[in-house]
Amino acid sequence: MPILLALGLCLATVSLAGDDASQRVNPRAAALQEFSERTREYMHLHERVAAGLPTLPDDATPEQIQEHREKLTQGIRAARRAARQGDVFTAPVVPQFRAAIRRDLQSRDTRDALAALQEVPATQTLRVNAPWPSHAARATVPPRMLKSLHRLPEGLEYRLIGRHLVLVDSGANLIVDFITNVVPSMLRRR
């Protein structure tokens, strides 16, 4: 009887260890899941701030639209006073974005890779919660490259500036977060 009891305990221990192993999470998948959650949280914040603003009339003038955008931007900045680089693009997910962009560029011949980056504005000083630079082109990530990046909630966009990937709130024209040096230096001379 003690042998059967010992065998039963061994099997239970192996079974529990197997259950523990099956519950391990792929770290890359977990990092992308966290990125998704953080972008959704940001957009919920955007929506809460927008809901607190007066509604624009259907026949709003360009000045009223600009004033509304500025109030939205100010409200989001106030709510994210402590925001820092890496709050959305967390350290575990950054290598995945760098790898996806580099894979896309390496799959192209040099001329095509340079053409894909043609509209990318020159490097600017980037800060979380700062507006997208007014004098910089608003070119987004090239379509083929965009397909290799994680899908974003409505209202957020990926943009490239210099060698950097920037997450922009298009409604508030605000830099939400960024990753530096995603484009290999040999492809960007600016």
The residue ranges of every structural domain in the chain are: 27-187
pLDDT at 184: 77
The string of DSSP codes covering 42-111 is: HHHHHHHHHHTSPPPPTT--HHHHHHHHHHHHHHHHHHTTT--TTSSS-TTTHHHHHHHHHHHHHTS-HH
Confidence of residue 14 (pLDDT cuts 50, 70, 90): very low
pLDDT in tens, 132-162: 888 777 767 888 888 999 999 999 999 988 8
Q: Which two tokens stand for residue 60?
A: 């709003």
Q: Which two tokens stand for residue 155?
A: 């209202």
pLDDT at 165 over 50: yes
Secondary structure class of 177 (helix, strand, coil): strand
DSSP state, 130? P
Secondary structure class of 126 (helix, strand, coil): coil
pLDDT in tens, 80-91: 999 999 999 999
Closest alpha carbon to 165 in 111, 109, 117: 117
The mean pLDDT of 151-177, rounded to a whole number, is 93
Report the chain's C-alpha Rg in angstroms.
Answer: 23
Q: Which two tokens stand for residue 183?
A: 């484009």
pLDDT in tens, 41-73: 999 999 999 999 999 999 999 999 999 999 999
The mean pLDDT of 5-10, rounded to a whole number, is 42
pLDDT at 168 over 90: yes
